[in-house]
Structure 1
Amino acid sequence: MAHPQELDTLSKSFSGFGVDERSIVTILGKWQPEHRKTFRKCSTTFFREDERLFEKWDADHIALLKREFSRFKNAVVLWTMHPWERDTRLAKEALIKENRSYDVLIEIACTRSSEELLGARKAYHSLFDHSIEEDVASHIHGTNRNLFVALVSAYRYEGSKVNDEVAKSEAKILCNAVKNAKKKNPIEDEEVIRIVSTRSKLHLKAIYKHYKDNCSKTLDEDLEYGSSLKEAIMCLCSPQAYFSKVLNASMKNGADEKTKVALTRVVVTRADHNIKEIEEEYQTQNGVSLSQKIKETIHGNYKDFLLSLIERGERK
Structure 2
Amino acid sequence: MALLEELEALTKAFSGHGVDEKSCVAILGKWEPENRKAFRKGTPHFFIEDERQFEKWDDRQVRLLKHEFMRFKNAVVLWAMHPWERDARLAKEAMVKGPHTYGLLVEIACTRTSEELLGAKKAYHSLYDRSLEEDIVSHVHGTERKQLLVALVSAYRYEGSKVKDETAKSEAKALSIAMKNANDEKPIIEDEEVIRILGTRSKPHLQAVHKHYNEISGKNLDEDLDDIMLKETVQCLCTPLRYFSKVLDAALRIDVDKNTKKALTRVIVTRADIDMKEIKDEYQNLYGISLSQKIEDTAIGNYKDFLLTLISRGG
TM-score range, shorter chain: over 0.9
Q: Specify whether residues 46 and 221 from structure 1 end up closer, same or farther in structure 2 by C-alpha distance, changes over 3 A only.
A: closer
Q: Counterpart in 1 of 2:223?
A: 221
Could you tell me which residue of structure 2 aligns to residue 274 of structure 1? 275
Q: Kindly provide the amino acid, as one letter, of the partner of residue 31 in structure 1.
A: W
| Aligned residues of 2:17 and 2:254 also touching (Cα < 8 A) | no
* CA-atom RMSD in angstroms: 1.6
Residue from 203, 209, 212 that aligns with 2:211? 209
5+ residue gaps in structure 2? none
* Cα contact 2:109–2:152 (8 A) shared by 1: yes
Deviating more after overlay: 19-28 vs 94-103: 94-103
The reply on whether 1:154 has 2:155 as its aligned counterpart is: yes
Q: How many residues get paired?
A: 313
108-117 vs 17-26, which deviates more?
A: 17-26
- Matched ranges for 1:93-112 at <5 A: 93-97=93-97, 100-112=100-112
Provide the residue aligned with 1:143 in structure 2. 144
- Greater mean alpha carbon deviation, residues 138-147 or residues 279-288: 138-147
**Is the contact made by 2:254 and 2:298 (CA closer than 8 Å) also made in structure 1?**
no
CA contact (8 A) 1:170 1:207 kept: yes
Q: 1:20 to 1:78 in 2, by over 3 A?
A: same
- Map 1:149-188 to 2 at 5 A: 149-182=150-183, 184-188=186-190
Query: Quick check: 1:2–1:39 contact (8 Å CA) kept in 2?
Result: no
Offset at residue 163 of structure 1 (A) = 1.1
Counterpart CA distance in 1 for 2:40 and 2:282 is 44
The equivalences for 1:33-44 within 5 A come to: 33-44=33-44
After TM superposition, give the deviation of residue 16 of structure 1 in Å: 2.4
How far does residue 180 in structure 1 lie from its aligned partner after superposition?
1.0
Structure 1, residues 33-88: CA drift from partner, whole Å, max 9, x if none?
Answer: 22222222222222222333322212111111111100010111111000000000
**How far did 1:99 drift?**
6.1
Task: Give the SS at the match of 1:261.
Answer: helix
Find out whether 1:69 has 2:69 as its counterpart. Answer: yes
- Determine whether 1:20 maps to 2:20: yes
- Are the counterparts in 2 of residues 2 and 38 from structure 1 also a CA contact under 8 Å? no
Which SS does the other structure have where 2:52 is aligned? coil
The one-letter code of the counterpart of 2:293 is: Q
2:241 corresponds to: 240
TM-score normalised to structure 2 length = 0.95
Deviation at 1:221, TM superposition (A): 2.5
**TM-score, normalisation: structure 1:** 0.95
Letter in 2 for 1:24: C
CA distance in 1, matches of 2:91, 2:102: 9
Q: Does 1:82 align with 2:82?
A: yes
C-alpha distance in structure 2 between counterparts of 1:147 and 1:313, whole Å: 35
**1:127 Cα shift?**
0.4
Partner amino acid for 2:241?
A: Q
